[in-house]
């Protein structure tokens, strides 16, 4: 027996765990766990641009530890794989651990014949408010794209536009494609111009408020590209346009930088999509330096650890705003919608609809209507993997772009 604590009857034990890598539109890594009684649970382990590192971490180091364990001991398994690793944390390790955790919650809920949110305390709300993505090469194009999302029923929209003087795809979809910046077997190199950006972005939001008024919630993502004082200036210059948030104004790992931003602007701040541990958001939360924390199921150690982060945030009046880009699989989104439905301090959920092909490989019971995601009532998290279809779409290398300044030096992308 792998653990002397195991009191599980044989039917409760994990019989098998397998990693499935598939690329229906983009790459996804999924862990499929099966118990001796035939219950199947799945978890997302996708880490954009580093997919195979997580797949190997699972295949080589976690799967051998899972077989024979009691599938019901979710917390113990989490601690065993986290503390037991000695080299704990990090995005690769936490994404792998998240997939195990999510699959075990899926199994527990299926065996209880309950939708997952019932095991997380039940509903705190009827539906989950989401924001969608609008992009454009020009301000006019972005304004039109925001209109498209309003027509689809969204009550909140993230707006990005290409910046004069820069090059590359920053924040802008390729024609006719869902926004997904990861492409190619080598990273695309883009040029970034902070000064142009800081003057251009307020013009975008002025045009959006002139066109659509103040009812629609507007968000903007800075992708870690500013210094604290530049971020302070951006926040102040956007105050007349009443943004829902600015996201990742400075590199998220420098928690105390947010003190300076906070001193200079009342524009709400969200950060944390690249962070994977409660320890990485502790100062941000306890000093109330952000309004929304963007950690999500896949990159932050699964439902067990994300709940811990959101509970800490709740103590300090900070709300959730989980990352939900298309590089997180429908398995992540499905699990996130259960947590969003259950927690008291939900803020908003990012939602970029996956392609029809992705959805056909991952059939799911959550659904979008009128600007909200509605959690399903199927047992478990309600997301499934069609392995035959998945096998038709093998892994295809894709990297996020790299940004450089005009002088050639590397900048944050
Ligand atoms: O560029 O998820 O808020 N969403 C984002 C995303 C990120 C990708 C990186 O993998 O910032 O679009
Ligand atoms: Co972001």
- From first to last of its 413 residues, the chain has per-residue pLDDT tens of 555 556 678 889 999 999 999 999 999 999 999 999 999 999 999 999 999 999 999 999 999 999 999 999 999 999 999 999 999 999 999 999 999 999 999 999 999 999 999 999 999 999 999 999 999 999 999 999 999 999 999 999 999 999 987 766 566 666 667 778 898 889 999 999 999 999 999 999 999 999 999 999 999 999 999 999 999 999 999 999 999 999 999 999 999 999 999 999 999 999 999 999 999 999 999 999 999 999 999 999 999 999 999 999 999 999 999 999 999 999 999 999 999 999 999 999 999 999 999 999 999 999 999 999 999 999 999 999 999 999 999 999 999 999 999 999 999 99
Give pLDDT, residue 113: 98
pTM above 0.85, yes or no: yes
Cα of 325 from ligand 1 centre, angstroms = 6
Give pLDDT, residue 225: 97
Give pLDDT, residue 10: 87
Q: For atom 11 of ligand 1, which residue has the closest CA? A: 223
Give pLDDT, residue 184: 86
Return the ligand 1 atom nearest residue 350 CA. Answer: 3
8-state DSSP, 186 = S
223 is catalytic: yes
Which of 158, 325, 327 to probe ligand 1 with, by most ligand atoms within 8 A of CB?
325
214 Rama class: left (phi>0) / alpha (psi -120 to 50) / beta: alpha
Q: For atom 6 of ligand 1, which residue has the closest CA? A: 325
Q: Determine if ligand 1 sits within 6 Å of the CB of residue 221.
A: yes
154 is catalytic: no
Contact 295, 273 (CB under 8 A): yes
Q: For atom 10 of ligand 1, which residue has the closest CA? A: 48
Give pLDDT, residue 124: 98
Q: Determine if ligand 1 sits within 6 Å of the CB of residue 327.
A: yes
8-state DSSP, 83 = G
Catalytic residue, candidates 82, 131, 170, 351:
170
Residue with tokens 């994977």, as numbered in its chain: 276
Q: Determine if ligand 1 sits within 6 Å of the CB of residue 273.
A: yes
Q: Which domains can be identified in the chain, with CATH numbers?
A: 4-115 (3.30.390.10), 119-378 (3.20.20.120)
Catalytic residue, candidates 220, 223, 323, 384:
223
Q: Determine if ligand 1 sits within 6 Å of the CB of residue 48.
A: yes
Give pLDDT, residue 14: 98
Cα of 172 from ligand 2 centre, angstroms = 13
Give pLDDT, residue 6: 61
Q: b/e per residue, 72-107, with b = 16+ CB within 10 A?
A: bbbeebbebbbeebeeeeebbbbbbbbbbbbbbbbb
Burial (0-12, 13-18, 19+ Cβ within 10 Å), 219: buried
Q: For atom 8 of ligand 1, which residue has the closest CA? A: 325
């Amino acid at each position: 027996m792998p653990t002397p604590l195991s009191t599980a009857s044989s039917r409760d034990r994990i019989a098998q765990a397998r990693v499935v890598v598939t690329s229906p539109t983009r790459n996804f890594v999924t862990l499929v766990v099966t118990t001796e009684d035939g219950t199947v649970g799945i978890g997302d382990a996708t880490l954009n641009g580093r997919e195979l590192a997580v797949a190997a971490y699972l295949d080589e180091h976690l799967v051998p530890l899972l077989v024979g364990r009691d599938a019901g001991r979710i917390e113990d398994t989490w601690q065993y794989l986290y503390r037991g690793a000695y080299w704990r944390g990090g995005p690769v390790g936490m994404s792998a651990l998240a997939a195990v955790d999510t699959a075990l919650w899926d199994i527990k809920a299926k065996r209880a014949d309950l939708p997952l949110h019932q095991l997380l305390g039940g509903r705190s709300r009827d539906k989950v408010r989401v924001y969608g993505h609008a992009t454009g090469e020009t301000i006019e194009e972005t304004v039109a794209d925001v209109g498209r999302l309003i027509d689809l029923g969204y009550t909140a929209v993230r707006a990005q536009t290409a910046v004069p003087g820069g090059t590359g795809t920053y924040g802008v979809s390729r024609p006719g494609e869902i926004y997904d910046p990861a492409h190619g077997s080598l990273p695309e190199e883009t040029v970034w111009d902070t000064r142009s950006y800081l003057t251009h972005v307020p013009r975008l939001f002025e045009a959006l408020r002139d066109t659509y008024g103040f009812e629609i919630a507007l968000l903007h993502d800075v992708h870690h590209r500013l210094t604290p004082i530049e971020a302070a200036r951006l926040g102040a210059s956007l105050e007349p346009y009443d943004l829902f948030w600015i996201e990742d104004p400075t590199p998220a790992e420098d928690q105390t930088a947010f003190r300076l931003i906070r001193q200079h602007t009342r524009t709400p701040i969200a950060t944390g999509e690249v962070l994977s541990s409660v320890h990485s958001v502790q100062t941000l939360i306890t000093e109330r330096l952000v309004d929304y924390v963007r950690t999500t199921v896949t990159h932050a150690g699964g439902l067990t650890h994300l709940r811990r982060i959101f509970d800490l945030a709740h103590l300090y009046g900070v709300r959730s705003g989980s990352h939900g880009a298309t590089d997180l699989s429908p398995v992540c989104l499905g699990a996130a919608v259960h947590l969003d439905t259950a927690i008291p301090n939900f803020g908003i959920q990012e939602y970029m609809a996956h392609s029809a092909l992705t959805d056909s490989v991952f059939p799911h019971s959550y659904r979008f209507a009128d600007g909200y995601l509605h959690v399903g009532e199927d047992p478990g998290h309600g997301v499934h993997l069609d392995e035959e279809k998945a096998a038709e779409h093998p892994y295809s290398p894709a990297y996020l772009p790299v940004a450089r300044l005009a002088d050639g030096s590397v900048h944050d992308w």
